[in-house]
Structure 1
Amino acid sequence: MVTVAKKEDWAPEWATHPGEHLAEYLEDRGWSQAEFSRLADMSPKHVSTIINGTNPVTADTALKLERVLGLKASIWTGLQAKWDLHEAKAVNHRALADAEQVLSKFPIKELKDRGALPATNDNGRLLSSLLEFFAVGTPHAFGARWANLAVHHRQSKAFETSQY
């Protein structure tokens, strides 16, 4: 049986800063940064920092880029939003990568076998998926989730039980 992935399932783990696209547009047109900065009424330093990825493309900047280059402002702001989300995920992933202590409390193998978690050994990705599974934002929020459960499970006297 062939499994076809849905369009929503595709989620690249990379993004490019809109400054890279701006640099390509300038190169394709043969414009220098200084020439473009005059046309867009932006400082050369501002254009340079956008191209170098150290400055974001704001809504105002996106409108200027649209007027000069012809690419819709919503595309520029969309590229910036994807970049910002990619960067936030990377920071969050590094913070979650040290998640062995939290993961050790859950039946990870069984959750993987049942398809609730991805088949990976990357602790950061596993913890992120576990947080999504329980619909909590951070490991600290698990306590709030347990406190609000509408059911209480039976406990066996023969085995050690865990709230996890």
Structure 2
Amino acid sequence: MCDADVKWLTRSWSITRTIIKVIVMTMMHNPAHPGEVLREWIPDDMTVGQAAQALQINRVTPSNILNGKSGVTASFALRLAAWRGTSPEMWVGMQAQWDLWQAQQQPMPKIKPLPRHAA
């Protein structure tokens, strides 16, 4: 087995692990921020600036997402999907799961249900 084969197998295993992690995250109590998942999908030798250039955005956007300081927008999800061969729904779904879990950790006021009226 040559070095290229080993590198390909290693990368394939990493991507498979990440996909499994995404599936499990939808059932988790504390899902990972999409930036944590994205970090695993960016090659080790690629800088944030290079990733930003590939995505045709400024460097601040992926940096903030990778560091959990901002979320994945629909526009960014479309770019990630095109770049990494995934779906935008996967990235938006991860963000929604993370946002929902974060919101559930905050105290909620008592809200009286709106009564239904017969039509």
TM-score by length of 1: 0.50
Partners in 2 of 1:140 and 1:41 — Cα distance?
A: 44
Choose between structure 1 and 2 for higher RCO, CA contacts under 8 A separated by at least 6 residues: 2
Residue in structure 1 matched with residue 74 of structure 2 by the alignment: 59
The gaps in structure 2 that reach 5 residues or longer are: 1-25
Q: Which residue in 2 is equivalent to 1:25?
A: 41
Paired residues for 1:1-164 under 5 Å? 11-27=27-43, 30-91=45-106, 95=107, 139-141=110-112
Identity over aligned pairs, percent: 29
Residue 16 to residue 63, structure 1, CA distance change in 2 (3 Å): same
3-state SS in 2 of match to 1:71? coil
Write out the 4+ residue segments of structure 1 that deviate beyond 6 Å after TM superposition.
none
Q: CA deviation at 1:140?
A: 4.7
Where does the alignment leave 5 or more consecutive residues of structure 1 unmatched?
1-9, 97-137, 149-164
Letter in 1 for 2:84: L
Structure 1 position 43, deviation (Å): 0.9
Q: Secondary structure at the match of 2:31?
A: coil
Q: How many residues align?
A: 91
